[in-house]
């Protein structure tokens, strides 16, 4: 009589473990290099670090560092409309962060992937960072997900997979390995009129 109960308990434990294991790997990782050219409005500038936060025409935010080749950075002000160009590398891991990642949510890593042929990663991206991030906004009509990192920086990620976009939810935590965006070109277009 005891063996059917034990068998039932073992089956329940196995079912729980298999569901719990699935939750660890919510979906496959995604990896991508991209060259981005767009126009946006300056929302914030940190002159000391040469970081600039821009809002694109779709409302997405991106924080980037102006590269060494960017001239006349000091002439750019909040509310200016600028054209900008930069490269990005992203790898999204849809899993729960490890205790180590929770304790240290931002980690500099040596390498994260290969640059596309003909591109020198050191020339077009800054440090490669692995971070625990949170989905802040999902613009499904425009297929854009915006995440925030532990330091308050934002990045808007163009999405290509409609199914994945419907599976994501605001507040979801994931692991994002990315090359910090370094602007390779900034061109002032004008200022927003009040």
On whether the pTM is more than 0.85, the answer is no
First to last CA, the chain: 81
- Do the domain assignments include residue 33? yes
Q: Tens-of-pLDDT digits for all 194 residues of the chain?
A: 444 444 333 333 333 333 333 334 578 888 887 777 888 899 999 988 888 888 988 888 888 778 777 777 888 899 999 888 877 778 899 999 999 999 999 988 754 444 455 544 444 556 678 899 999 999 999 999 999 988 888 888 888 899 999 999 999 999 998 876 667 677 888 665 54
Record the tokens describing residue 24, joined without a space. Answer: 């660890």
- Do the domain assignments include residue 158? yes
Which residues span the domain enclosing 67? Answer: 27-191
Number of structural domains the chain divides into: 1
- Do the domain assignments include residue 61? yes
- Do the domain assignments include residue 183? yes
- Do the domain assignments include residue 140? yes
């Amino acid at each position: 009589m005891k063996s059917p109960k034990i068998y039932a308990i073992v089956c329940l434990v196995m079912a729980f473990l298999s569901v719990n294991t699935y939750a660890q790997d919510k979906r496959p990782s995604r990896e991508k290099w991209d060259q981005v050219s767009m126009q946006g409005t300056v929302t914030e500038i940190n002159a000391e670090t040469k970081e600039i936060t821009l809002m694109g025409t779709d409302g997405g935010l991106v924080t980037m560092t102006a590269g060494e080749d960017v001239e006349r950075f000091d002439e750019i002000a909040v509310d200016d409309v600028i054209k900008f160009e930069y490269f990005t590398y992203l790898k999204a891991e849809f899993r729960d962060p490890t205790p180590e990642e929770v304790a240290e949510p931002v980690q500099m890593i040596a390498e994260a992937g290969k640059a596309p042929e003909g591109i020198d990663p050191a020339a077009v991206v800054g440090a490669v960072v692995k971070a625990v991030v949170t989905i802040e906004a999902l613009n499904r009509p425009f297929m854009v997900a915006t995440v925030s990192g532990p330091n308050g920086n934002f990045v808007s990620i163009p999405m290509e997979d409609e199914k994945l976009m419907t599976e994501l939810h605001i507040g979801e935590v994931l692991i994002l390995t990315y090359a910090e965006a370094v602007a390779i070109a900034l061109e002032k277009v004008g200022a927003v009129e009040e």
